[in-house]
Amino acid sequence: MQKKDCRLTYQGDAVLAGLLAKAGSVYTVAEVRSLISGVLGSAEERDPEAWCVLVASSLSSALVAQLVALKDQVAHDEAPAPVEAATHGKRLAAVRAGLAKLGVDGFLVPRADEFQNEYVPAGNERLQWLTGFKGSAGAAVVLADRAAIFVDGRYTVQVRAEVDANLFEFRHFITEPPEEWVATALKAGQRFGYDPWLLTPAQVDKLRAGVTKAGAELVPVETNPLDAAWERRPAAPLGPVRPHDLEFSGKSSTDKRREIGEALGADKRDATVLTMADSLAWLLNIRGSDVPHTPLALGLAILDKEGQLDLFIDRRKLAPGLESHLGNSVAVRDMAEFGPALDAMGGKVVQVDPATTASWVFDRLGHAGAKLVRAADPCKLPKAVKNEVELDGSRRAHRRDAAAMVRFLAWLAAEAPKGGLTEIAVSDRLEAFRAEGARFRDLSFPSISAAGPNAALPHYRSGPETERSLEPGTLYLIDSGAQYLDGTTDITRTIAIGSPTAEMKDRYTRVLKGHIALSMARFPKGTTGGAIDVLARLPLWQAGVNFDHGTGHGVGSYLSVHEGPQRIAAFADTQPLMPGMILSNEPGYYKEGHFGIRIENLIVVTTLDIPGAEREMYGFETITFCPIDRTPIDLSLLTVDEIAWLDTYHAKTREIVLPLLDDPAARAWLEATTAPL
């Protein structure tokens, strides 16, 4: 009984103080509480005890038990008050009071953090706190007498369900962006504020144009008024930062820093400022857990042409051995030292990426007298071009992921005819299959589990209010992925529940034809993704239909599931596709209010050896292996070559995945679904 109490009940500060002293920890109990607040502000890891390594390098079971118990207590004490009907009205009023104190008449609230991440820590979910909107993209504008929220087409239904129309006007982010709205909403002579940490220079320029058009003044604020009004705001994240071993990275941080430093020197640049967390993760071979679904350690860095790097990060989140991993050429400094470090760069030539770096950094360097060179983050391209170790790791990760997907689809095939399945329950089942796999760390993004009409929303997120059952005669779309230590996956399959209609089969087959065409593409060196995007769309165009999202995005190596600069999309594009780049291949079709279709595999750009070729030619290697549902295929629309491609793909899928399955039912399902057409 005493042992059970030790594990489940916090026994008090005195007991913990004794255990800390015995373990040789440098922390007091009060400091541990502060550390725990930061851990609670980071993404929750699968292992509830993993964060304890930040407290001491030698952990007894009793100390771990008390740390976990204290974390539960702190989580309870710091939990936000329940959201009630009047909550967001009170928050909006508090923000307006803060604006008055700052002497500004309005303020922009983007969904962003200082690092321009796709996923942001809990303490940076300002848009959600203010409005109640839980989507992954959007912004709000607060004026003294009006307020508006801006979302794109993905969220037009969701925003009306989550946000009070009596408080916020609903506006479309694309057709009436914030800068256009403020141009008519502001009055001449007013002052409109923004947080320079949350906008890039290009975003500031757009906003300034709208504010100036109204005859108003755009002003940066030093203190974000939402932060001042936000009671019990989650602390800055302190997820453990760990080394990413050479067996996964394939190249030492020393070599990476030396090569980028030499490139800076060759271009007559003294240093570069790095603010993208995935660049730091790649450059330093580290991974963290500060944000959901992407293993990032939030921090900032200055890399000079000699390969020396100053890393500005909270030391408390560095796991034991991390500083040794970083080496003598990396100086770990407090985040508060970043501004003064920029001030010291006066007269130096400094490369900064205007697309990914906060306006605050440009302003500070400008005031310091640095000579700014606006150019892409120098880590972006080498990070995108994977080395052989990273590619082999990704292939292994995809094979394990394929086994989880096949187990899931076999289960779905058996259970769907019985009825009663819902979107959330089904995606939870897939997550459980993945979690059993070796080296699994997290999902790579929240799964898009969409049945029937919900699948017509390309970025739909199921919730208790919106989820649907998987019903006969409908299509079910599951877009999902995982983070493994050796690779990041992203896969979409569309499954017929019962018998599909003739229209469904036509559209599904055209999407499949586009997917196959891109998979089989051959193109000369120097070709951009935009130049081959048409291959995935042509079968749909021939029927007078299309899809409105990109065909492919870059994917990282146990990093961001959405990675640049590579992409395949019908937009102006200057980045050539290069061997080693991983991209998605995901054409789709969406009939609003009825059904949606998407088929997605990940592909790697490879060099082709074509006899008699007069130019260096590239193609794609598919690394995702999972059966493509054959029920919705209209065979009359497929060519002989397309049928051969699908049969070959399914044969290889069977060859790769079958040895990884123990369940006889899953094995039988795989053999049946991968038989030749």
Virtual torsion, Cα 204, 205, 206, 207, nearest 10 deg: 50
Q: Please give the pLDDT value at position 6.
A: 45
Integer angstrom CA distances of residue 257 from 72, 260, 263, 486: 40, 5, 10, 22
Are the C-beta atoms of 327 and 253 separated by less than 8 Å? yes
Phi, psi dihedrals of residue 108, rounded to the nearest 5°: -95, 135
What is d(CA 511, CA 288) in angstroms, rounded to the nearest whole number? 37
Q: Please give the pLDDT value at position 3.
A: 41
| β-pairing verdict for 286-287 and 617-622 | unpaired
Q: Please give the pLDDT value at position 26.
A: 95
User: Given phi > 0 = left and psi -120 to 50 = alpha, else beta, which region is 189?
Assistant: left
* Helix 664-673 and helix 388-415, axial crossing angle in degrees, nearest 10: 100
What is d(CA 656, CA 622) in angstroms, rounded to the nearest whole number? 13
Integer angstrom CA distances of residue 70 from 33, 36, 284, 319: 8, 8, 32, 20
| β-pairing verdict for 474-480 and 491-497 | antiparallel
Integer angstrom CA distances of residue 134 from 82, 151, 159, 230, 380: 16, 11, 8, 17, 29
What token pair was written down for 158? 């969701």
- For 232-249, the DSSP string reads TPPPPP-PPBEE--HHHH
Element (H, E) at 619: strand 617-622
What is d(CA 111, CA 661) in angstroms, rounded to the nearest whole number? 42
What token pair was written down for 365? 């360097």
- The ranges of the chain with pLDDT < 70 are 1-7
**Preceding omega of 565 cis (within 30 degrees of 0):** yes
CB-count burial class (<10 Å; 0-12, 13-18, 19+) for 594: middle
What is d(CA 10, CA 118) in angstroms, rounded to the nearest whole number? 36
Q: List the Cα angle 24/29/32 in 5-degree steps.
A: 85
Residue whose C-alpha is closest to residue 527's, from 609, 588, 615, 587: 615
Question: The dihedral of CA 18, 23, 25, 27: what is its sign?
Answer: negative
Helix (H, G, I), strand (E, B) or coil at 448: strand
Are the C-beta atoms of 91 and 142 separated by less than 8 Å? no
Integer angstrom CA distances of residue 238 from 22, 41, 288: 24, 7, 9
Q: Please give the pLDDT value at position 463.
A: 84
Measured from the Cβ of residue 215, the count of other Cβ atoms closer than 10 Å reads: 12
- Please tell me the total number of residues recorded for the chain in this structure: 677
DSSP label of 596:
E
- H helices present in 334-387, as ranges: 338-343, 359-368, 380-384
What token pair was written down for 529? 């993704």
